Amino acid sequence: MSKIKPSLSKGTRDFLPQEVAKRNYIFDIIKSVFRKYGFEQIETPAIERLETLTGKYGEEGDKLLFKILNSGDYFSEIRNSKFEIRNLTSQEATTLISEKGLRYDLTVPLARYVVQHQDKLAFPFKRFHIGPVWRADRPQKGRYQEFYQCDADVIGSNSLLNEVELLQIYIEVFRLLRFDPQEPGQKLVVTINNRKILQGVIEYLDAQNLSSQFFTIIDKADKIGYDGVMSELSNVGFTQDQLTKLQHIFSQRQNVDRALDYFDVIFKDIELGRKGVDEIRYVLSHLNQVDRTNHVIYDILLARGLDYYTGLIVEVKILDAKVGSVGGGGRYDNLTEMFGGQNLSGVGISFGIERIYDVMEELNLFPETIAQGVKVLFVARNAEVEEFTFKQVQTLRDDDIPAEIFLGNVKKQKHFTYAEQKGIPFMVEIGENEMASGNFRLRNVKERKEEAAGLSIQDLKTKFI
């Protein structure tokens, strides 16, 4: 074996124990809230057939799929094909030598899963899924080729209560993650809108031919500002009359009641738009009943890029945080149609857990001690007391107290560093005296001072149980 410098594949990461503990802290809170609302966890494989993945993410997405080489003598497929090799494009070659890829998100696998297992699932199907996905994106700060997604969806129910509950989940998770609504920099902002309203606006403007441009442009409002939106809309062909009407609509932005009342007027003959307004009212009134409105903002300029949304859309941000959105979702139809399933309505949200991690680091929101488990480190000062020390540790473990024994280089005081690095709060050093007397001194690791002395093993048990 030749020696090689160890390194990661670009855009991938290792996680140190402390990082895993922090990530698990986030995952565990999100999972507990999902479960509280009746969502069950599923898993799908990392590897999917390219047939399943291709064509679902647009042309750009297809390029970003990681494709896996067929096993065995795959190259003979190319040699034996009818293609002229010298002219073979990479895309053509791929069809010959690759049948599998890594999943690009958790949504297409969900669609496949629901159709494939529908006879075994309880509908409405409320599932959550947390796991890695892979994209051959150019890596940059905060963007990886392998990263986690975290989705909750309800499939097969048209009830708007699902929308309400999913918004409640957002609010509850961020509260449990200790984002303080009183601290401006930590304030959670859940922005909602409804695609039916946006479609209604398009109808009202008689701008059906410009609808996709309309969505794309207002989706950028955050970046280009209100004036930018207006000028880009003008550039793509919105008339002065249409822009004036839009100005009137957008001017209602600051007050949700005024905005919805205004829509009542302009949607008098536009049923889809009215339906959208009713849906927003339903969601807000239900959230109001459970005191969950103070984080929720209605914004006519929220569009969300993805084509497939058909009803409520939502985006979650931490006010003032620079990372962009930390969550988003909405209602969609026909998710399962691509796999020949019946038309099932769905609604879902996702948590941007990589970003949430970064924001929590930035705002210092992780608890100081994330339980790593071990409560006390027993240090055997020399080989003669090892066996005795082992027995003491075992006494604690017998009562399910996580405890550890350190046999490393005690002369160089490495046990202090060891305990600190692992976040072990207490330490008991054992030498001949302790072995003879059975009396122990307990040291506080962080403060490097004595916590208590003259303790029996029974005393320690009582303390840590």
**Which residues, numbered 108-137, are part of the site for its own copies (CB under 8 A)?**
111-113, 115-117, 120-124, 127, 132, 134, 136
* 3 state SS of 403: strand
**Tokens matching residue 244:** 């004036």
Residues of this chain, 56-95, that bind its own copies according to CB under 8 A: 56, 63-64, 66-69, 71-76, 79, 85-86, 88-90, 93-94
The span of 45-53, 193-201, 205-213, 321-329 binding its own copies (CB under 8 A) equals: 45-53
Is residue 296 within 8 A of residue 192, CB to CB? The reply is yes
With vertex at residue 254, the alpha carbon angle to CA 252 and CA 255, rounded to the nearest 5 degrees, is 75
The smaller minimum CB distance to its own copies, of residues 104 and 204, is found at: 104
The distance of closest approach from Cβ of residue 286 to its own copies in the complex, given in angstroms and rounded to an integer, is: 7
Backbone angles phi, psi at 72, to 5 degrees: 75, -155
Query: What DSSP letter does each residue of 334-377 carry, written as one string?
Result: -GGGGGT-----EEEEEE-HHHHHHHHHHHT-S-S----S--EE
The span of 30-38, 186-194, 303-311, 345-353 binding its own copies (CB under 8 A) equals: 30-38
Residues of this chain, 289-348, that bind its own copies according to CB under 8 A: 289-290, 337-341
Q: Judged by CB under 8 A, which of 22, 48, 194, 301 binds its own copies?
A: 48
The distance of closest approach from Cβ of residue 427 to its own copies in the complex, given in angstroms and rounded to an integer, is: 13
Cα–Cα dist 418/412, whole Å: 11
The distance of closest approach from Cβ of residue 102 to its own copies in the complex, given in angstroms and rounded to an integer, is: 8
The distance of closest approach from Cβ of residue 294 to its own copies in the complex, given in angstroms and rounded to an integer, is: 16
Q: Judged by CB under 8 A, which of 408, 437, 438, 444 binds its own copies?
A: 408
Is residue 461 within 8 A of residue 375, CB to CB? The reply is no
Backbone angles phi, psi at 110, to 5 degrees: -65, -45
List of residues 6+ apart from 247 with CB closer than 8 A: 230
Query: What DSSP letter does each residue of 111-159 carry, written as one string?
Result: HHHHHHTGGGS-SSEEEEEEEEEE--PPPBTTB-SEEEEEEEEEES---
List of residues 6+ apart from 112 with CB closer than 8 A: 44, 48, 52, 339
The span of 216-224, 232-240, 269-277, 400-408 binding its own copies (CB under 8 A) equals: 400-408
The span of 3-11, 196-204, 207-215, 248-256 binding its own copies (CB under 8 A) equals: 3-11
* H or E stretch at 441: strand 440-444
The smaller minimum CB distance to its own copies, of residues 8 and 265, is found at: 8
Residues of this chain, 422-451, that bind its own copies according to CB under 8 A: 422
One symbol per residue from 239 to 278: x for binding its own copies (CB under 8 A), - otherwise; what is it? ----------------------------------------
Q: Are strands 296-298 and 188-194 parallel, antiparallel or unpaired?
A: parallel
What letter would DSSP give residue 383? Answer: G
Q: Judged by CB under 8 A, which of 61, 139, 181, 402 binds its own copies?
A: 402
Q: How far apart are the first and last CA of the chain?
A: 49
Binding of its own copies at residue 6 (CB under 8 A)? yes
The smaller minimum CB distance to its own copies, of residues 280 and 403, is found at: 403
List of residues 6+ apart from 14 with CB closer than 8 A: 8
**Tokens matching residue 73:** 């003598």
Residues of this chain, 131-190, that bind its own copies according to CB under 8 A: 132, 134, 136, 145-146, 157, 159, 161, 164
The smaller minimum CB distance to its own copies, of residues 94 and 252, is found at: 94
The distance of closest approach from Cβ of residue 66 to its own copies in the complex, given in angstroms and rounded to an integer, is: 5
Q: Judged by CB under 8 A, which of 212, 397, 432, 448 binds its own copies?
A: 397
The smaller minimum CB distance to its own copies, of residues 3 and 223, is found at: 3
With vertex at residue 373, the alpha carbon angle to CA 370 and CA 379, rounded to the nearest 5 degrees, is 120
The span of 96-104, 236-244, 258-266, 362-370 binding its own copies (CB under 8 A) equals: 96-104
DSSP β-bridge partners for residue 134: 146
Cα–Cα dist 460/426, whole Å: 11
The distance of closest approach from Cβ of residue 142 to its own copies in the complex, given in angstroms and rounded to an integer, is: 16
State the number of binding residues for its own copies (CB under 8 A).
111
Q: Judged by CB under 8 A, which of 37, 226, 250, 308 binds its own copies?
A: 37
List of residues 6+ apart from 371 with CB closer than 8 A: 21
Q: Judged by CB under 8 A, which of 59, 119, 227, 400 binds its own copies?
A: 400
Using alpha carbons only, how large is the chain's radius of gyration in Å? 29
The smaller minimum CB distance to its own copies, of residues 117 and 178, is found at: 117
Residues of this chain, 9-28, that bind its own copies according to CB under 8 A: 9, 12-17, 20-21, 24
The smaller minimum CB distance to its own copies, of residues 16 and 236, is found at: 16
Q: Judged by CB under 8 A, which of 5, 322, 411, 449 binds its own copies?
A: 5
Cα–Cα dist 384/431, whole Å: 8
